[in-house]
Chain A
Amino acid sequence: MDVKTARFDTHVWEERRASARRAVSWVLLVVAAVSLLAAPYALSAYWVRVLTTIFMYGALASAINIIAGFTGYPAFGHVVFFGVGAYTAALAIARWGWSFWPGTVLAAAVCGGFGAIAGLPLLRLRGHYFAVATLGMNEATRALVENFGFTGGGTGVILPSLRGSIREINALFLVLMLGVLAAVVGFSYWLSRSRFGYGCRAIRYDEEAAAHCGIPTTRYKVAAWTISASFTGTIGAIYAYWLGYIEPSVVFDMNIAVKFFVMMLLGGAGTVFGPLLGAVLVEGIGILSWSRFLTFHSAVFGLIIVAVIILLPGGLADLASHRFSLRSLLRNVQENRV
């Protein structure tokens, strides 16, 4: 067999293997979707709630992945859009008597607009300055919401309760969160292979070089942040409706921001499914540590964060691309230490 045919053969084999893998993942996806839709009728209310929470965090982690993972801008205070989305929807529904869908669309639009307007000046900052500017943005917004009269101040907003059986309501929010999760992950998938997505990743690696290659960096950065913000706002709106009662300290909570940030990092920043994987793991560990160490669960969470950051700086997705070995963990440590 001459070299040419041999190369051709491997090529064909690779293609076949890839298409087989695609088929398997589609089947898995369909099975997963069907079993998830059956879940509210098969599982107890507690587990449905857990699943809904996982979907919510999966969606949040995937949404921040658009700006932080793909584009490389560490929007540390990203929870501000979650809060603004929750408040927009809550005010529209509770104060102005809107129904849920227009309220959610309004929340997405307001957060998108907010992201675009704030992004133009803030996305000129880099690194720590950008990270902490977003942190300041969150704290400033929270302080304003706490003091304004029309937002209900520190006492929060109560949303009208839903009609229907508890099981129906649980199913509704499970489907809503799953829907928004699918939308964000779908968008990330498109992003991972579109021109826009390649531009974003070029910005992450070297912004000057990207600009020299003709990528409109400002427009791309602002667009990525706007999209990420409006997804996050949508999730916030659903969350407000789900909870039925929101207050500033709950929806502008930095702990939420760090949680989805850690999920993204743990799963793998800049990958399509990594953030979702991270959400499943962190929530899973959270449930275990909640039930085992009630008083120490956030300390346990802190320890997990520290361990992940040291051993797996590239996230779990990094493990999937190499083979797992203790040596690779140690190599990770070697690379980033002084």
Chain B
Amino acid sequence: MLTLELLINGMLLGGLYACVAVSFSLIWGVMNLINLAHGTMIVLGAYVSFMLFRAFGLDPFLSIPVAAVTLFLLGYALQRFVINLVVKGSVFMTLILTFGFNLLLVNALLAIFTADTRALTPSYAGLGVAFGDIRISYVRLGVFAFALALTYLLNLFLGHTRMGQAIKATSFDQEAAQLVGVRIRDIFSLTFAIGAALAGASGPLLGMLHSFSPVVGGTLTMKAFVVVVLGGLGSVPGAVLGGLTLGVVEHLSTLVLGSGYQDAISFLSLLVILILRPTGFLGKKFYAELKA
């Protein structure tokens, strides 16, 4: 029974991982840019929700749009005025740049919110539904549903709007996209903004499942990376599959090894996957990758 409960909870957490990873993967796949501040952007989203919750008692699920818009604006400005200046440079540049930005963001959060651990606890946080012995909380179910809905929305946007098509085209072949009139600079800014918005939207979801503090972003970034590598770069279904896998593997590994080894398991699985199948479950090579 415990196994089944862990399995289900792992899958529900996996939904959030998928949502986090899909935004990370969008930025990476289109611009060949690893955003090391991604996890901290999620944490920032969680703090936006936390502020609204404390000030107005706003339900965390309802603060998702606010968090998303905040991060959208921040992301757009960051890409348009800073990252675009170095994005053509070597891998080092963007890694160090986003690390530097992460440092700034973490310190700003520490200065504003202190290092205290926070959590989003709406009134129904303790409630849940029971199937026999297995209890599943409403919050977990809600987070799962919202996370998958956001992921699906992104997929719809990329596949069925003109803007989305332009982003996809850029990720396949930059020069060809430019030839048919796509303005790379704007597409890059927009892509980063959308990725950041999705990260911001994942913030309240994260805050309801876990307690958080300004410094937990690094682990989240690494997990997003693990999921993207598992599922394959640039593939939305791949990210969902990878997210669910990571969630389940993490939860089940606590059964065998105890919770201390959870991080070790996810990073070791990252290494194994990278070595055995660098393109992931469903991934293919992208323009940005081929060039690198």
Query: B-contacting residues of A (Cβ < 8 Å)?
Result: 68, 74, 76, 121-122, 124-129, 131-133, 135-137, 139-140, 143-144, 146-147, 254, 258, 261-262, 265, 269, 295-296, 298-299, 301-306, 309-310, 313, 333, 335-338
Check if A306 sits within 8 Å of B82, measured CB to CB: yes
CB–CB A338/B271 < 8 A: no
Q: With A and B bound together, what is the CA distance between A35 and B121 in angstroms?
A: 62
| Shortest Cβ distance from residue B63 to the other chain A in the assembled complex, whole angstroms | 27
Residue in A76, A122, A131, A303 whose CB lies within 8 Å of B104:
A303
A336 touches B93 (CB 8 A): yes
Minimal beta-carbon separation of B283 from chain A (angstroms): 11
Asked if B99 contacts A258 (CB within 8 A), the reply is yes
Q: List 6 additional A-B contacts (Cβ < 8 Å) besides A121-B275, A338-B84, A338-B184.
A: A126-B292, A127-B32, A140-B264, A302-B101, A302-B102, A313-B89
**Chain A interface main SS type:** helix
Known contacts A262-B96, A306-B82, A336-B93; A135/B222 CB under 8 A: yes
**B82 neighbours in A (Cβ, 8 Å):** 306, 310
Across-interface contacts of A336 in B (CB, < 8 A): 85-89, 93
Instruction: Kindly state whether residue B145 has any CB partner on chain A within 8 Å.
Output: no
Residue of B nearest to A120 (CB): B275
Contact A122 B275 (CB under 8 A): yes
Within 8 A of A (CB), among B222-254: 222, 225-226, 229
The 0/1 profile, CB within 8 Å of A marked 1, for residues 71-106 of chain B is 000000000001011111111110111011111101
Tell me which residues from 113 to 150 in chain B have a Cβ below 8 Å from any Cβ of chain A.
Answer: none
B175 cross-chain contacts in A, Cβ below 8 A: none
For residue B218, CB closer than 8 A to chain A, the reply is yes
Q: A131-B95, A269-B92, A337-B87 are in contact. Are A125 and B278 (CB under 8 A)?
A: yes
Report whether A146 and B260 are in contact in the complex, using a CB–CB cutoff of 8 Å: yes
A133 touches B84 (CB 8 A): no
Residues of A within 8 A of B88 (CB): 335-338
Q: Is the CB of B96 within 8 A of A305?
A: yes
- Interfacial chain A residues near B271, Cβ < 8 Å: 122, 133, 136-137, 140
What is the distance, in angstroms, from B273's C-beta to the closest C-beta of chain A? 10
Which listed residue, B32, B111, B218, touches A254 by the CB 8 Å rule? Answer: B218
The docked-state distance in angstroms from the alpha carbon of A258 to that of B87 is 19
* Contact residues in B for A135 (Cβ distance below 8 Å): 222, 225
A302 and B86 contact, CB distance less than 8 A: no
30 intermolecular pairs with C-beta atoms under 8 Å apart: A74-B91, A122-B275, A124-B275, A126-B292, A127-B292, A128-B91, A131-B34, A131-B91, A131-B95, A132-B34, A132-B225, A132-B270, A135-B222, A136-B226, A139-B222, A139-B267, A140-B268, A140-B271, A143-B263, A143-B267, A146-B260, A298-B103, A302-B104, A305-B99, A313-B90, A336-B88, A336-B93, A337-B86, A338-B88, A338-B185
B34 contacts across to A, CB distance below 8 A: 128, 131-132
Residue B153, interface by CB 8 Å: no
- Choice from A137, A144, A258 contacting B96 with Cβ under 8 Å: A258
- Per a CB cutoff under 8 Å, which of A127, A139, A301 touches B263? A139
The complex places the Cα of A175 from the Cα of B70 at a distance, in Å, of 52
Residue of A nearest to B104 (CB): A302
Q: Is the CB of B274 within 8 A of A133?
A: yes
